[in-house]
Chains A and B, each alone.
Chain A
Amino acid sequence: QVQLQESGPGLVKPSETLSLICTVSGDSVIRNGHYRAWIRQPPGKGLEWIGSLYSTGSTYSNPSLNNRVTISVDASRNQVSLSLSSVTAADTAVYYCATFAQTDAIYLWGPGTVVTVSS
């Protein structure tokens, strides 16, 4: 059974960089034809796609985040990481790791991790 688990600091100071890790179990982090993605949900609000890493190594991010997003993979640890720079209170959210295939819906989600941006 494939599982995703997010981890990282629950509290980040404004202007700093938020760093999260998604550990994949039961599957290779690089699965042919699949994306590993990050999605977030501010408190009481809807879902926002942050970015994705494809099995070829290509990365894509939401233009609304103004080039603050870096997504990378550590195949030796079976992990995908997210870095979001210059955070503000608006980046406070539950951050989810997720998986989907090309031209397919998101079929697997991690449980999410809460990140609060505050001094």
Chain B
Amino acid sequence: DIVLTQSPGTLSLSPGERATLSCRASQSVRSNYLAWYQQRPGQAPRLLIYGASSRATGIPDRFSGSGSGTDFTLTINRLEPEDFAVYYCQQYSRSPLTFGGGTMVDIK
């Protein structure tokens, strides 16, 4: 299985600041089949980024993804109040599909 390790576990920031979230894979993710999801309390996850760097439909451009191989990053510029949530990375290059443990972005 491809193990995804997300860091940090928690990121405490203020609105307007930039968030940088990391996702490291235990082996190379083929074709950059790496996605990022946002999950707010009590809600299902929502797709933000696919293919490591492509924004999903309707996702604001303050969200951006980068990386390749085993190291991936989600950047959120100018945090808005609704961005404080948990973020998961997921690889879909190899079965079984696997998710990272999540990074919580909370208000400082």
Residues of chain A contacted by B95 (CB below 8 angstroms): 60
Range of interface residues on chain A? 20 to 34
Question: Known: A46-B88, A46-B102, A64-B96. Contact between A109 and B44, CB under 8 A?
Answer: yes
Range of interface residues on chain B? 20 to 34
Interface assignment of B40: CB less than 8 Å from any CB of chain A: no
B99–A100 contact, CB under 8 A?
no
A103–B88 contact, CB under 8 A?
no
Alpha-carbon separation in the docked complex, A48 to B101 (Å): 10
Partner among B44, B47, B50, B99 whose Cβ is within 8 Å of the Cβ of A48: B99
Which parts of B35-49 form the interface with A (CB within 8 Å)?
35, 37, 43-47
Residues of chain B contacted by A112 (CB below 8 angstroms): 44
Residues of chain B contacted by A49 (CB below 8 angstroms): 96-99
Interface assignment of B31: CB less than 8 Å from any CB of chain A: yes
The interface of chain B, by Cβ under 8 A from chain A, is: 31, 33, 35, 37, 43-47, 50-51, 56, 88, 90, 92, 95-102
The interface of chain A, by Cβ under 8 A from chain B, is: 37, 46-49, 52, 60, 62-64, 96, 100, 103-107, 109-112
